[in-house]
Amino acid sequence: MMKNSILLSCLLCLVFMSGCAFIDKNRNLNPKNEIYDLNDSNSTNLISYNKDVLNLLNTIDKYKNKKTRVDCSGLVDLFNRLNNNIFYENQEMYRHVQKNRGKSQAIYNLYSSNNKITNKKPMAGDLIFFNNTTKATKNKKTKIITHIGIVQDVEDDGRVSFIHNIRGINKIGYVNLNKKNTFKDNLVVQNSYIIRCKSNKTSCLTSNRFAGFGVVVR
């Protein structure tokens, strides 16, 4: 009896220590059940998208505002695995790793090598990259890719919403390159603060740390 109790305790410890290693795909993480429908004319900018992209956007809805215990590139990795490697094959991505650089830089390098980095208007499902967003890099002159997200929606005025993981939570951020130094316009966030600044400097806005979009959907 004692041996069975010890074995059960060990199994429970392994489950809790695994953190986010195991994901229950049947778990309902979207209480509003906001599912994009290819036949729904109200699904903004989605009609021309293929099924893989629609599944990706539904994944964003399921995981936004949730804790996943991963960093920004870890979130992209998670979505990549859940969506048939829509962003990259791991083997190919790892060939673009740079010494003393993170995975966000490697993904950027991969897209850059395939001429898939652009500053033009993106589409939902594309990647978005930022440079010098960490404490160690925010004041450096050399631009280093340190953050990554996934475009969720693009509005007519150029305002882009994207999901990214920041401090362990999957949040929706905003960037509008047409209003580069604007935080809010008529109470609507145009550019989120992507790094902490003592005096809310415009240099800390997403628009001023933007490094490019990674073209996934075309």
Q: Is residue 183 domain-resident?
A: yes
Q: What is the mean pLDDT of residues 55-75?
A: 92
- What are the angstrom distances between the C-alpha of 66 and each of 14, 63, 191, 196? 22, 5, 21, 21
pLDDT number for residue 87: 97
Query: Is the pTM here over 0.85, yes or no?
Result: no
In this model, does residue 34 exceed pLDDT 50?
no
Q: Is residue 96 domain-resident?
A: yes
Q: What is the mean pLDDT of residues 161-181?
A: 96
List pLDDT tens digits, range 118-160.
999 999 999 999 999 999 999 999 999 999 999 999 999 999 9
In this model, does residue 35 exceed pLDDT 90?
no
Q: What is the mean pLDDT of residues 197-207?
A: 89
pLDDT number for residue 2: 43
Q: Is residue 78 domain-resident?
A: yes
Beta strands in 73-206 (DSSP E): 117-118, 127-131, 145-154, 160-166, 169-175, 184-185, 188-189
pLDDT number for residue 50: 75
Residues 6+ apart with CB under 8 A from 183: 189, 190, 191, 193, 200, 202, 205
Which has more confidence, 162 or 50?
A: 162
- Cβ atoms 126, 217 nearer than 8 A: yes
Q: What is the mean pLDDT of residues 23-48?
A: 38
pLDDT number for residue 44: 45
Count of alpha carbons within 13 Å of 91, Cβ hemisphere only? 0
How far is the C-alpha of 199 from the C-alpha of 157, rounded, in Å? 28
pLDDT number for residue 18: 29
The total of structural domains in the chain comes to: 1
Q: Which domain holds residue 107?
A: 35-214
Q: Is residue 21 domain-resident?
A: no
User: CA torsion, points 148, 152, 156, 157, in degrees to nearest 10?
Assistant: -40
pLDDT number for residue 218: 64
pLDDT number for residue 199: 80
Q: Is residue 26 domain-resident?
A: no
Q: Is residue 17 domain-resident?
A: no
In this model, does residue 36 exceed pLDDT 60?
no
Q: Is residue 19 domain-resident?
A: no
How far is the C-alpha of 206 from the C-alpha of 185, rounded, in Å? 15
Q: What is the largest CA-CA distance in the chain?
A: 69
Q: Is residue 92 domain-resident?
A: yes
- Cβ atoms 191, 179 nearer than 8 A: yes
Summary mean pLDDT of the chain: 81
pLDDT level of residue 49 (50, 70, 90 thresholds)? low
